[in-house]
A and B are shown apart, each in its own frame.
Chain A
Amino acid sequence: MKPMKEPPPGMVEKRGAGLWLTHMIMIIGVVIVFFPIWLAFVASTVTQPEIVSPPMPLWPGDQFFNNYKEALFSGVNVPVATMLLNSLIMAIGIAVGKIIISLLSAFAIVYFRFPGKSIFFWLIFITLMLPVEVRIVPTYEIIAGFGMLNSYGGLIFPLIASATATFLFRQFFMTIPDELAEAARVDGAKPMRFFWDILIPMSRTNIAALFVILFIYGWNQYLWPLLITTDPEMNTIVMGIKQMFPSGDDVADWPVIMAASILAMIPPVIVVISMQKLFIRGLVDSEK
């Protein structure tokens, strides 16, 4: 993160009381924003009766291991562990798949001339414009037609179809000095060699940032997995949680549901926080 600016003395009234006030405001802000997560965590560590007779306690209880064990290994209709695994496969599949095909496409667009290049470029541009929510019915039919319902392929392929990553890499490749490619050519590097030895290493930061964004995008998918999975064994964690709610008037198994919710948010949070610097730079630079 960029070093914070030094407030010039006397100009920005930030000493003493001012500083405390600033921190107080931030702390209150954080507390308010964090509250839902905190509450969910607490709920995942207490017993069902404690929740069902409000108000529930606001401090964690002692049921942590029980609840989480139950969630992970039996869940409500399918073990949470299974759902977590499905989500992991889906998210990584989406991130890796999209990154690979877009690196190749961006490379082709930037460094080559070929028939149909402009058309291709505009086609890519168009795909930026349609989130999956808008093409759900026909995409469903196609997946069903391929027999890919309830499959990882069905979960992954439609979500890597938009070319946002291609566009981003294209922008980045345009900023790489021409001379690097020329020097490689003079050195005798064939295009794919240049791609592998030089372009990819130079794109490391962008690839990492994009991986974070795509992983979270994939992990947090809701509508699409909801549609194409009928077998609970293929549920992903994010969509599966809703299905843990009973229909009708039965009481929900709140501690388990909350434990599942907490588990569902942990991987994205870890990914985001550990790659914070990288990710923010990528996010702010690339989405602009």
Chain B
Amino acid sequence: MATVELKSVKKRYGQVEVIHGVSTAIEDGEFIVIVGPSGCGKSTLLRMVAGLESISEGEISIGGKRVNELEPMDRDIAMVFQNYALYPHMSVRKNMGYGLEIAEMPKAEIDTKVQAAAKLLQLEPYLDRRPRDLSGGQRQRVAMGRAIVREPSVFLFDEPLSNLDAKLRVQMRLEIRDLQSRLGITSLYVTHDQVEAMTMADRMVVMNAGRAEQIGTPLEVYEKPQTLFSAQFIGSPSMNILNGFLENGLVKIGHAALPIETATTGAASVGIRPEHIIVDSNGPLTMIVRMGEPLGANTLLHGKLAGTDGVFTVSVPGVHYATVGEEIRFGVDPKNLHFFDVNSGKRL
């Protein structure tokens, strides 16, 4: 168990810089999720913490100790890979015990630890099987078991659930989170799935193109996204972004004007989450429906907001039979309006 600290960590391949100075301090026992789209550098960042990629600039410390020059095995970390990386010719038992074997732990002790981890992960019946005889979910658990027996200071997860089907993913999410809180080991978890991030993280690092756009608790990121990117990346369905003009306590969007709470003026990108609309037959905003997606618990309606281009999405509770061309009028609580600088995307 330990803290992890990143100080202005940068990564360059030749002349190309791919990670532009990420800094954060992770508390002991925290579950940190690094989330972002493909290619944003999240895996690279994780691998730098692991020691599988070199650090071009900046410093990474684990437990207060600088680890830049240390090999993975000396950093007291354990990693769960996206493709599990189980040794195909070894049994589950041997897979899990391999790291301890290398550390020359006495056999009896290895057995006890492997047995305990297997029990925790419900892998006991499979201890003598080969990876190829196991299902995806079971292999995933073996990969975790391998990490657990090492009793490291930090767990690193590299998109471990990407290869599982949706239902299994939901189940495994809970299991991983539960396991981690029981063991209390600091964890860094990389994923591109923002739902995973929202449900699992103590704090999130939202990454885009090598930059950490926002670091905060899921709720913080949801309620106060610091950049346009965070705003649209977190929350499903995504936040609607419109062009607006702020003036005199109102924001003009298309033909409509809504009251606002902030004193800022000028052009801005306005963000409204689909779930924050309040249906109101006298509301300032009008939308013509083009298509509806009934999801059961709520219904998504896609259409065009009067006076704007592009698709606008609203979420209404319950079942709503939409007809094409139907008109919906609604308003939005000023607290739920987000404004971003038109050029930089930063929150105003």
Contacts and interface: CB of A to CB of B under 8 A. Distances in A.
A and B touch in the complex (CB under 8 A): yes
Interface of A: 177, 179-180, 182-189, 193, 197-198, 201-202
A182 B81 contact: yes
B52 A187 contact: no
Given A183-B85, A197-B98, 16 more contacts: A177-B83, A179-B83, A179-B84, A180-B87, A182-B52, A182-B85, A183-B81, A185-B51, A185-B73, A186-B50, A186-B73, A186-B77, A187-B99, A188-B73, A193-B102, A202-B89
Contacts of A188: 72-73, 99, 102-103
Contacts of B150: 187
Contacts of A198: 87, 89
Contacts of B84: 179
B69 to A, nearest CB: 15
Contacts of A185: 51-52, 71-73
B72 A186 contact: yes
Interface residues of B, number: 24
A33 to B, nearest CB: 39
B237 to A, nearest CB: 34
A199 to B, nearest CB: 10
B62 interface: no
B79 interface: yes
B88 interface: yes
B78 interface: yes
22 contacts: A179-B84, A180-B85, A180-B87, A182-B52, A182-B85, A183-B81, A183-B85, A183-B86, A184-B98, A185-B51, A185-B71, A186-B73, A186-B77, A186-B99, A187-B146, A188-B73, A188-B99, A189-B98, A198-B87, A201-B89, A202-B88, A202-B89
Contacts, number: 57
The majority secondary structure among interface residues of chain A is helix
A189 B77 contact: no
A178 to B, nearest CB: 9
Nearest to B82: A179
A118 B174 CA distance: 48
Interface of B: 50-52, 71-73, 77-79, 81-89, 98-99, 102-103, 146, 150
Closest 10 CB pairs between A and B?
A188-B73, A187-B99, A179-B85, A183-B85, A201-B89, A188-B102, A186-B72, A179-B81, A186-B79, A185-B72
A222 to B, nearest CB: 39
Q: Which among A180, A182, A186 has the greatest number of chain B C-beta atoms within 10 A? A: A186
A183 B102 contact: no
Nearest to B52: A182
A223 to B, nearest CB: 40
Contact of B102 (A179, A189, A202): A189
Given A179-B81, A182-B81, A187 B102 contact: yes
A184 B77 CA distance: 13
A184 B95 CA distance: 10
A21 B64 CA distance: 81
Nearest to A187: B99
A186 B86 CA distance: 12
A182 B146 CA distance: 13
Contacts of B52: 182, 185-186
Contacts of B83: 177, 179
Question: Which of A182, A183, A185, A202 has most chain B Cβ within 10 Å?
Answer: A183
A186 B88 CA distance: 17
A188 B149 CA distance: 13
Residue of A185, A187, A197, A202 contacting most chain B CB atoms (<10 Å): A187
**Interface core residue of B51, B83, B102 (most chain A CB under 10 Å):** B102
A133 B84 CA distance: 49
